[in-house]
Amino acid sequence: MSGDRAAYLQVARDIREQVSSGQLKPGDKLPSFAALSEHYKVSNTVIRAAMLLLKAEGLIDGRQSKCVYVTDPHPR
Protein backbone atom coordinates (compact mmCIF):
# COMPACT_ATOMS: atom_id res chain seq x y z
CA MET A 1 0.00 0.00 0.00
CA SER A 2 1.28 3.42 -0.81
CA GLY A 3 1.97 5.84 2.00
CA ASP A 4 0.91 5.38 5.62
CA ARG A 5 -1.79 8.03 5.32
CA ALA A 6 -3.53 6.39 2.39
CA ALA A 7 -2.84 2.88 3.71
CA TYR A 8 -4.85 3.28 6.92
CA LEU A 9 -7.79 4.63 4.90
CA GLN A 10 -7.59 1.62 2.57
CA VAL A 11 -7.48 -0.82 5.49
CA ALA A 12 -10.43 0.92 7.16
CA ARG A 13 -12.38 0.91 3.87
CA ASP A 14 -11.74 -2.80 3.37
CA ILE A 15 -12.90 -3.70 6.89
CA ARG A 16 -15.92 -1.38 6.52
CA GLU A 17 -16.85 -3.20 3.29
CA GLN A 18 -16.52 -6.58 5.02
CA VAL A 19 -18.94 -5.39 7.70
CA SER A 20 -21.46 -3.92 5.24
CA SER A 21 -21.37 -7.06 3.05
CA GLY A 22 -22.01 -9.31 6.06
CA GLN A 23 -18.64 -11.02 5.78
CA LEU A 24 -17.95 -9.63 9.27
CA LYS A 25 -20.96 -9.66 11.60
CA PRO A 26 -21.66 -7.93 14.93
CA GLY A 27 -19.75 -9.73 17.66
CA ASP A 28 -17.12 -11.12 15.27
CA LYS A 29 -13.58 -10.81 16.55
CA LEU A 30 -11.15 -9.13 14.19
CA PRO A 31 -7.71 -10.68 13.66
CA SER A 32 -4.86 -9.41 15.83
CA PHE A 33 -3.01 -6.25 14.85
CA ALA A 34 -0.03 -8.45 13.89
CA ALA A 35 -2.19 -10.63 11.63
CA LEU A 36 -3.84 -7.59 10.03
CA SER A 37 -0.44 -5.97 9.58
CA GLU A 38 0.84 -9.07 7.81
CA HIS A 39 -2.32 -9.46 5.69
CA TYR A 40 -2.30 -5.85 4.46
CA LYS A 41 1.52 -5.62 4.33
CA VAL A 42 1.55 -2.47 6.49
CA SER A 43 2.97 -1.46 9.87
CA ASN A 44 1.16 -1.79 13.21
CA THR A 45 0.90 2.01 13.20
CA VAL A 46 -1.22 1.87 10.04
CA ILE A 47 -3.48 -0.82 11.55
CA ARG A 48 -3.82 1.19 14.77
CA ALA A 49 -4.84 4.30 12.79
CA ALA A 50 -7.43 2.28 10.84
CA MET A 51 -8.83 0.81 14.07
CA LEU A 52 -9.07 4.26 15.67
CA LEU A 53 -11.01 5.52 12.65
CA LEU A 54 -13.39 2.54 12.67
CA LYS A 55 -13.88 2.87 16.43
CA ALA A 56 -14.72 6.58 16.02
CA GLU A 57 -17.30 5.56 13.40
CA GLY A 58 -18.79 3.06 15.86
CA LEU A 59 -18.07 0.04 13.67
CA ILE A 60 -15.73 -1.70 16.10
CA ASP A 61 -15.14 -1.80 19.82
CA GLY A 62 -12.03 -2.71 21.75
CA ARG A 63 -12.33 -5.01 24.74
CA GLN A 64 -10.07 -6.03 27.58
CA SER A 65 -7.17 -8.20 26.43
CA LYS A 66 -6.84 -6.05 23.29
CA CYS A 67 -9.43 -7.94 21.26
CA VAL A 68 -11.40 -5.89 18.77
CA TYR A 69 -14.96 -6.79 17.82
CA VAL A 70 -17.48 -5.63 15.25
CA THR A 71 -20.24 -3.69 17.01
CA ASP A 72 -23.97 -4.20 16.70
CA PRO A 73 -25.31 -1.26 14.69
CA HIS A 74 -28.75 -1.79 16.26
CA PRO A 75 -28.26 -2.44 20.00
CA ARG A 76 -31.33 -3.82 21.75
Ranges of each domain in the chain: 3-70
- Would you say 42 and 1 are in contact if contact means Cβ atoms under 8 Å apart? yes
The DSSP 8-state label assigned to residue 58 in this structure reads T
Is 70 in a helix, a strand, or coil? strand
Band (pLDDT 50/70/90 cuts) for residue 8 is very high
pLDDT, mean over the chain? 88
Span 11-58, pLDDT tens digits: 999 999 999 999 999 999 999 999 999 999 999 999 999 999 999 999
pTM score, whole prediction? 0.83
Q: Please state the rounded mean pLDDT for residues 46-73.
A: 86
Domain 3-70, second-level architecture:
Orthogonal Bundle (1.10)
The tally of CA atoms less than 13 A away on the side-chain side of residue 26 is 7
